[in-house]
Amino acid sequence: MPEPLTYAFMQRALIAGVLLSAVAGYFSPFIVQRRMAFLGSGLAHAAFGGVALGIVLQFDPVLVALPFTVLIGIGIVLIREKTELAGDTAVGILFAVAMALGILLLSRTQQYAGDVMTYLFGSILAVQSADLVWASGLAIFTIVCARWWPVWAYATVDERLARVDRLSVKRIELALVISVAVAIVVSAKIIGILLVSAFLVLPGATARLVAHSFAGMTGWSCVIAIGGTVVGLLGSYYTDLPSGPAIVLLQAAVFFIVAAVTRR
């Protein structure tokens, strides 16, 4: 069997996978530590509504899904702040609305079923140059966001103390939600809407078991995410398995192994 990196499609897949997993590894500790896992899953599924709207309008689904999902994320934060409803309730409401909207829109047309399946399940081995541009743009966006990491980390580790220091915790949370929404939408076509939430949770959850500080948790999360993606992608080539599920299952296996070794 030829070496995988002799193929251009594997090279593109590896580059895109490393970039997206690094982004997922960066945001994962915030999602895990702030107990936003359901929010990440909800935004991933809500992105389906934006993708469906873009497909029906015959416009780039990513460009449509980006503002759509960001607005859903802002709506979740506002509902939680302005009402007595819990955060998971707000996620459940808008997640259901976005999914229903997406299904309703797609029911009006049948010729784009292939595009829908691509966004639902991902196609990392079918990455094109345009996808690499999106992945690179997301990586740059994350690097820009890194300037706020100390403030985000402070409010994440000790929200009460952050409030005492007069930090705008609400704005910090809103900024995180918007950033996660952007990461989810850009990753959706490559990783898949149904799998992207796992990429945003598993690395941080595993890192949480071994790290002794939030900075360490972030570092370990990025290492686990990137390592799992590279090994999973290459392993899927040699075993002829779907790449996205293989990567997720590998990261899940690492989590369970670490959990068993570090259990109290």
Q: What value does the mean pLDDT of the chain take? A: 85
pLDDT of 256 reads 93
Provide the percentage of residues in the chain whose pLDDT is more than 70. 94
The CATH number of the domain holding residue 9 is: 1.10.3470.10
Residue 237 tokens read as 């080539």
Q: Give the range of the structural domain holding residue 28, as residue numbers without chain letter.
A: 4-262
The answer to whether the CB of 234 falls within 8 A of the CB of 27 is: no
pLDDT in tens, 194-219: 788 888 899 999 999 999 899 999 99
Of the candidates 174, 219, 182, the residue with the CA atom closest to the CA atom of residue 29: 219
pLDDT in tens, 34-85: 888 777 888 888 888 888 888 888 888 888 889 988 988 888 888 877 777 6
- Side chain identity, residue 237: Y
Compute the distance between CA of residue 190 and CA of residue 174 in angstroms, rounded to an integer: 25
* pLDDT value at 20 more than 80: yes
pLDDT in tens, 112-139: 656 677 777 777 888 888 889 989 999 9
Chain length of the chain: 264
pLDDT in tens, 81-105: 777 766 677 777 787 888 888 878 7
Q: What is the dihedral of CA 171, 172, 173, 177, to 10 degrees?
A: 100
The total domain count for the chain is 1
Cα 68 to chain centroid, rounded: 16
